[in-house]
């Protein structure tokens, strides 16, 4: 009898505790706010490691360019700045829609949250399709990274045998390629967020995963903001 009484008391206590803890709140956090802020700071720390990952490539770019400015100018001129520019606008628009999705998550508008996430996903897809056409146009003319570099055809043949021209395309393909991998990962995560949003996993009280996905996506946008002028324009 005594055991049953204790168990009942424990259950009551547990139920009471549960009342003060929303289902999303882990017990080691004081409040939803603290949990949200911790998650966000963790995301910012991760984004810094991402920035440092790309900074290694930006440094390689800078050193290469400082050493071989003429080769850089010649090789860079073969990139299609119009496609690069369109892709910049596409990514900027996707940044807007992902910011809007958070706006609607905070207002608990599930339909608009899902719509904006799906539009972001579609814009990311457009970016990759344009990138695919850019890459294939280069591959068709033997413009590959590294040892395979063997340019031919009207627009590219002047680079055949030009010292250090191959290195430009190694830098170009590695930088845009790793950025592209980030776009693909972003698409997977955004798609996942969209399905979770459809199933009503998020509320104005708790939308942390959408917020963090948004931060990641904006970073992918920022990297491209720098890649576009540095590779295509100047």
Partner 1 sequence: MAHSEYPGSEHDHHIIPKKTLFSVFGALVMLTILTVAVAQVDLGSAINIVLALAVASAKASLVVTFFMALKYDKKVNTMVFSIGTLFVGIFLVFTLFDTAFRGDLGNVGIETISAEKRTEKKLKARDPGAAGLAIAPGDSARLTDQLAADTTAAADSAAAAPDSAAAASGGDHGGGGSDHGGGG
Other C-beta atoms lying within 10 Å of the C-beta of residue 207: 24
Residue 215 binds partner 1 (CB under 8 A): yes
Minimum distance from CB of 133 to partner 1 (Å)? 19
Closest CA to 94 of 219, 212, 228, 229: 219
Take residue 228 and report the two structure tokens written for it: 């576009």
Residues in contact with 133: Cβ distance below 8 Å, sequence separation at least 6, in sequence order? 83
Which one of the spans 4-12, 136-144, 191-199, 224-232 is the region binding partner 1 (CB under 8 A)? Answer: 224-232
Residue 37 binds partner 1 (CB under 8 A): yes
* Secondary element (H or E) of residue 106: helix 81-106
Q: What does the alpha-carbon distance between residue 118 and residue 98 come to, in Å, rounded to a whole number? A: 9
Kindly determine how many residues on this chain lie close enough to bind partner 1 according to the rule CB under 8 A.
54
Q: What does the alpha-carbon distance between residue 174 and residue 228 come to, in Å, rounded to a whole number? A: 14
Minimum distance from CB of 181 to partner 1 (Å)? 20
Minimum distance from CB of 228 to partner 1 (Å)? 8
CB of 164 closer than 8 Å to CB of 40: no
Closest CA to 179 of 16, 57, 38: 57
Minimum distance from CB of 108 to partner 1 (Å)? 11
Applying CB under 8 A, which of residues 66, 147, 161, 200 lies at the interface with partner 1? 66
Closest CA to 214 of 97, 114, 49: 97
- Which residue, 98 or 151, has its beta carbon nearer to partner 1? 98
Residue 164 binds partner 1 (CB under 8 A): no
Q: What does the binding site for partner 1 look like in residue numbers (CB under 8 A)? A: 20-21, 30-34, 36-37, 40-41, 44-45, 47-48, 51-52, 55-56, 58-59, 62-63, 66-67, 69, 73, 81, 85, 88-89, 92-93, 95-96, 98-100, 103, 106-107, 214-215, 218-219, 221-222, 225-226, 228-230, 233-234
């Amino acid at each position: 009898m005594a055991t049953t009484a204790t168990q009942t008391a424990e259950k009551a206590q547990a139920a009471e505790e549960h009342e003060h803890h929303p289902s999303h709140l882990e017990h080691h956090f004081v409040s939803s706010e603290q949990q949200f802020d911790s998650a966000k700071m963790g995301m910012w720390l991760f984004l810094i490691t991402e920035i440092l990952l790309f900074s290694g490539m930006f440094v390689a770019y800078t050193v290469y360019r400082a050493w071989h400015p003429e080769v850089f100018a010649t090789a860079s001129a073969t990139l299609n700045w119009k496609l690069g520019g369109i892709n910049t606008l596409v990514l900027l628009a996707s940044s807007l829609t992902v910011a809007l999705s958070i706006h609607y998550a905070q207002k608990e508008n599930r339909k608009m949250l899902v719509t904006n996430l799906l539009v972001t996903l579609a814009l990311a897809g457009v970016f990759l399709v344009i990138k695919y056409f850019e890459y294939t146009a280069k591959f068709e003319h033997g413009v590959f990274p590294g040892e395979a570099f063997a340019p031919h055809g009207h627009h590219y043949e002047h680079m055949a045998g030009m010292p250090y021209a191959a290195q430009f395309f190694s830098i170009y393909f590695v930088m845009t390629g790793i950025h592209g991998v980030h776009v693909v990962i972003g698409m997977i995560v955004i798609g996942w967020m969209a399905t979770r949003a459809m199933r009503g996993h998020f509320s104005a009280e708790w939308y942390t995963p959408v917020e963090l996905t948004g931060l990641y996506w904006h970073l992918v946008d920022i990297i491209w903001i720098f890649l576009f002028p540095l590779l295509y324009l100047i």
